[in-house]
Chain A
């Protein structure tokens, strides 16, 4: 298709990309992978709605927009991002237009055994060598391929064995680009070694007022034996943004991961979460919340892959869809042949708040083992009339009553956030969004 060809040309032949791939000696180590990914993207192109995984989410306009890779990435100072901190003591890592901004970050007081920095400064780290670009599959995911072929910087967070860090690490993605149409590849690597425990928060925000922004983020999270990662993704991009996010978690035995995705932004959002329980006794929680307004589409695709026995996974996804917005939920659970004694649960609850709102849900189970307990449930409806009546009978106005019920509906997702400070901040944000 010509449009795909055009995109490829636009992005892959952009001088920034060419120069970077060919000229930068710093990424020589990954040059082969990057070229391979570029080819993989060329082969796959931008998916159309004919593609089963993109049936409800139309991103073809990406193929016809003339995106530029942002060049101006060092404008933010500490003071600019102070207000956005998730907790007062959080370790701040700022990515400005996808590029690590050391000036604005505050990495001075890192505990021993925690390493954070740009890929360019961390190439010698053993964990980085082992895991960088190794987990997100660009062969089957077009946007991972595009990201792998085009990222110019990446942030790596490495927790050494037995390090436990209570303070959250706040990855702040801030867009300041002033190109007419900007393309922002974001790349994150998080590695928690044996028995390590960390809290990570990703937030996506924007100071930019350009025409359109295309954020293409890929996070790879690796958990070694008995590691524990609590991860929160909060997306608050403005309406001019198309946000495509791929999050891959590779889990070793006895590891625990808790992931909360909060899609509160106003643009098109697509989340691909891919969790692989690669060894026995892993535990994975995936929670998600959408508050969709105007004409936006918010799409959550989750895939939980139970490859080994005795693992547990639980998903809770809630969508509040208002105006002419569209919500999409596609939850896949795979239970492989050897994954006996698997417990996998999934729950998807959706509220339609307006006459023009749409919700498309596709909870999906693929089970190849017999000794398993798997279930999924999906419901779509509106607020319960009786609950509304109950509140109104007690003198609460209709709008306030609705807001209260919506909040109660959404707050359940927040309850799972392990870090109290982060939870509080996120609830605060949610309150603002639901006003």
Chain B
């Protein structure tokens, strides 16, 4: 079939899986092709912090052997994947993009990794990210920025820029991201790829190094809606080790992606997530996409979520508060970096010096904000008020979902900006997540998928679809329909237009 005639790395996961199932190609060949691609391009892209070729090939051979023995294998068996470096994998470095965890090798697998392994997905390596997932550009990685394959002088989004860039650079057909305020969706938007933040509790957080526990959610990233759904199905579901994980059945996201049908679906445009502050080309492509959804038979209405304007402020109190506590354990006592231990300094001094040396500026900034916000005398005004805003935002969503099945907005207000452009302006950086943050505060599910290139800069634009908690399948039903219509119009996926590296 066609697969062997093309470059293996340009195939999507579903196609590769089918080809492997049909015996056209082995997992080892597929895995080697991706490892070769990483060798060829990653010195320029810097999507990966750590590649594990021997382990990946050994895992691929094992899949090939078991397939040859006639063992039943899962739908993604033998397909390579890039793992964000915030999830533990036994024995492999897990840095979270920070110096403070340099050299630490966790003694245990995260639940996501455990499920990927039991699905026989081949993990190629760990991808770059903003330090402890704090950022929207991957410039805050202690190991240097990742570059956007569409334009190597531009950011790939963040914090999961490494995972998104790995997909866009054809270094892996699948990737895992984590999304606390948009870290899956915004990188997907600016790299022309697909990413889903599942319903909070939909995917176990066990083994995900916490940034903000009440907001963090791991999720699937790929180049197509169907691939994203296949990966979603592989990692989702209740986990007894994460008491915040949902014990309800996972919605059938794969069937929804295949159905790809918006006829009769009610779609809400969020009034507060458009207009001023959104780049012209972003708004233009968004409006066109909404037009396509209407043409496909959806009923599109405008809805208002009046409290969304407070989302960013609430988010930047809740996140730093939780982060200040979650990151306390990095004190040099048990693992990772230890600085200043000269046998004369006290334990407090060594802790302070370790944290001074090990954390970057953005991490320190948020730890200080969070420490302040939780302080006695300020708690009610900051953390307490932020939680109330969170409740109001949740109610906005509930009211909106009384009227419509899904909500849509641009994923990010702009296309990929230049490396260095916003790195010294935290507020400008934070505004990148203005459209993605409300979903995290409410615990909903959301997807970003590519809808074209902005005319003014020729860079990808993403559309965000938001669904109520536990209705993740609606993302795939709508996203699948829009993707199919766009591919129909373009004759190919948007990512095919990315420059070759």
Q: Do A and B bind each other?
A: no
